[in-house]
Amino acid sequence: MKRVFNFSPGPSVLPLPVLERAAAEMCDANGTGQSVMEMSHRSKDYKPVIEKTEALLRELMDIPAHYNVLFLQGGASLQFAMVPLNLAGVEQVEQETSGGQNSPQKKVSYIDTGIWSDKAIKEAGKYADVSVGASSKDKSYTYIPVAPAPDADDAYYHITLNNTIVGTTWNKVPETGPVPLVTDASSCILSEPLDVSKFGVIYAGAQKNLGPAGVTVVIIREDLMGKAPSWTPVMLRYDTHAKEGSMYNTPPCYAVYMVGLVLEWLKNLGGIEAISQINREKAGLFYSYLESSKTFLSPVAKADRSLMNIPFVYRDVPADKKTDLESRFVKEAAAAGLVNLAGHRLVGGMRASIYNAMPIEGVKALIGFMEQFEHSIRSV
């Protein structure tokens, strides 16, 4: 069997033991004589699957009892709309009677730390009065800005916890007092301990640390549900899904099952504390190499560097040669079994995404290749 080291930002590498177990259970899951793909979501065979997945997530993240765990679809991108609709939406009658005076839209605050933050801000602007409290766009999103306190009348305060494209992360989340803190944790959930009680809503697409693409996890405090205006589509209401245990309609059954297998793997590894130590060791090795390299560097402020997504660029390369050298690096790395290292199309450069399932051997192999690559281009 040939396996490469997959540094994709998502969908990303999955733990090999999880893939092997899923393969073994493909035609006969849990002795049922059928694949999870074939099970009715309302059957006695599938119910334990989704219940076990939720229980494991609650255990690993220490999710308080007064939070609901939902398994939804549409990725984090759909949450860009669901969050303002459910937490800041207003009834149409209020809009119609305002006469264009003093918009009845509720106020919300966002911190702009990257492309995904910007998308969330633009989507929220359709349903709420958005204030951008701070932004790091002035330096190409290579740092985390100082977050101002929310206004007392804000319906919520939103941050993107880890910025996949630019490789920054919030090492200390803002204190928002009674204003609910909402976060997109798609690319860092389960990577290190997170105090769920500091947040009103945590949402995450699965395709980084949780499992395959297709399911989105939403962790939401109970008091924040049931506030969506009456015109909100039924499928876009959190309370719709909470009342039905994430089974108002057919959930992404197989993706939920895979998340459950990933969570079992993580628990057997020692839980979030254990994976956090491994992640810090992996990132530490790679950042240490970049610090010493004469060819590559990290463009991100040292205090704000991500453990999960590490962009890197050339130090001293003429602009007219940069693109060719980036392409050469990615091509030669792939030939060496190190795949998906191209930077995001909007920022260029290179990027190594080293999620939970990336073994430390993969990081060491990448560093070894980069050392050889440095020698090859400097000897020309």
3-class state of residue 352 by DSSP: strand
Q: What is the dihedral of CA 353, 356, 358, 363, to 10 degrees?
A: 70
Verify whether residue 239 is a known catalytic residue: no
Verify whether residue 184 is a known catalytic residue: yes
Catalytic residue of the set 107, 112, 116, 282: 116
Catalytic residue of the set 112, 184, 239, 304: 184
Verify whether residue 170 is a known catalytic residue: no
DSSP 274-332: HHHHHHHHHHHHHHHHHHH-SSEE--S-GGGB-SSEEEEEESS--HHHHHHHHHHHHHH
DSSP 23-38: HHTSSSSTTSSS-GGG
Catalytic residue of the set 208, 239, 265, 282: 208
Cis preceding linkage at 104, omega within 30: no
Q: What is the CA radius of gyration of the chain?
A: 22
**Containing H/E element for 178?**
none
Q: What is the dihedral of CA 302, 304, 309, 312, to 10 degrees?
A: -30
Burial class of residue 345 in the structure, from the number of CB atoms within 10 Å of its CB (0-12 exposed, 13-18 middle, 19+ buried): exposed
Known catalytic residues are: 116, 184, 208
